Structures are given as structure tokens and as C-alpha cells.
A and B are shown apart, each in its own frame.
Chain A
Amino acid sequence: GIQVEQSPPDLILQEGANSTLRCNFSDSVNNLQWFHQNPWGQLINLFYIPSGTKQNGRLSATTVATERYSLLYISSSQTTDSGVYFCAVVSGSARQLTFGSGTQLTVLP
């Protein structure tokens, strides 16, 4: 099956800093999503982005499908951005999302 790798595994930032999270995948994808898992475990949809670039406030994402990677940008980070960020993909005829192992982000005040 498809492999999804996220980097870095852990990231510690000072409030106000910018960051880039990366997601590499091993095959072509029909669906790519970025999620933020908050401290209560809720998976919050950030972007549905199988290709192209999207922006939502301080967050933006870019997927270069031909090179099999996606980037999540967080600008002017806030303490509420802390949590685990997941990239997940659907490939081929599969219906399920295959998740990466996540990036644990900690934003310090």
C-alpha cells in the first residue's frame, strides 16, 4: 500500500514564529487531507488538497502531486496551534485514508 511520511516528527516554536510541515507519499493520490488533532483528540479538517494551493487565514497548503509531496505552512503561530498535525491520503481504488505518523507541534508563549 501507499506510504505516507511526515516531517519533522516534533517541532517546538516560540509564539509568532512560522513553520513548514512536510508530507511525502509514495504513489499518486485521489485525495489528500491535512488535519489538526487537538488535545481532546478531535480531528479538525484543515485542507482537502489533492493538488494545488489553498489558504485559510494563517494556514496555507500546497500539494505538488507530480512530485508526491504536500506542505502545510503555519504563519504567526499561536499557542492554540499546538497539537498533532496529520497528513492523510487516498490512493488508487482504496476508500480509506492512509495517515502519516504526524507532526507534534508545541507553540510556547
Chain B
Amino acid sequence: SQTIHQWPATLVQPVGSPLSLECTVEGTSNPNLYWYRQAAGRGLQLLFYSVGIGQISSEVPQNLSASRPQDRQFILSSKKLLLSDSGFYLCAWSVGFSLENEQFFGPGTRLTVL
């Protein structure tokens, strides 16, 4: 069966510091991978998605970047965090090469920028 991991689970960082969040998926090959952010309140917003190694699409201009160095690894980064980067970051995966597919979410990383 497939599993998705995220780490760290929680993170407190000062403004201006760098960020690296990692997501890995097990039990599947060539998945579509996604980064979402949930700010205070309820809405989830797509930040990045990837259909393959090195292929990244950005949905929202921001202070963040994403990379996919391996098939089942997705990294979210920032060179200098802003207060507005605080939130709950969720990684998700779906079966590749299909639009009509179900997405599955990881446990999330709760980021607080002080």
C-alpha cells in the first residue's frame, strides 16, 4: 500500500531564516505530487505541483520554491521566511498520467514564523 511522509511535523523559525520541508511517497511510481498550504481558518491553497522529476508548476507567486530531485521526493523551500509564510503545509500525491484521480494527503507540517 502507498504511504506519504512529511517532516518535520512542526517547525518554529525566525523571520529571514531558510526553510526546507520534505515529502516522500512510498509504494507507487511516478506519482503526481502537490504542495498545499492551509492558513489560519479553513481554506487550502495549492502552491506547487509536479508530474515528474524536475518538473514543477507554480500556482501562486510567493516567497517559496519547490523541487523534485527524485521520483517520490518533493521539497518545499524558502531562502528567507516571512511572517506570512506561517501555516499548515500539506503534501499530497495522486496516480500519474490521469486527471481523474484521487489525491491523498500527508500528515502535514505546522510552520510558525516569528
Contact = CB atoms under 8 A, between A and B. Distances in A.
Interface stretch (B20-28, B38-46, B62-70, B74-82): B38-46
Interface in B84-99: 88, 90, 92, 99
Given A42-B107, A45-B104, A95 B44 contact: no
B3 interface: no
20 contacts: A30-B100, A40-B107, A41-B88, A41-B90, A41-B107, A43-B90, A43-B108, A45-B104, A86-B42, A86-B44, A95-B32, A95-B34, A95-B99, A96-B59, A97-B34, A97-B92, A97-B103, A99-B43, A99-B44, A101-B42
Could you say which interface size class chain B belongs to?
A: 20 to 34
B62 to A, nearest CB: 15
Can you list the 4 inter-chain pairs with the closest CB atoms, starting with the nearest? A96-B46, A102-B42, A43-B105, A48-B102
B104 A50 contact: no
B101 interface: yes
Nearest to B105: A43
A62 B57 CA distance: 32
B43 A101 contact: yes
A24 to B, nearest CB: 16
Given A95-B32, A96-B49, A45 B44 contact: no
A31 interface: yes
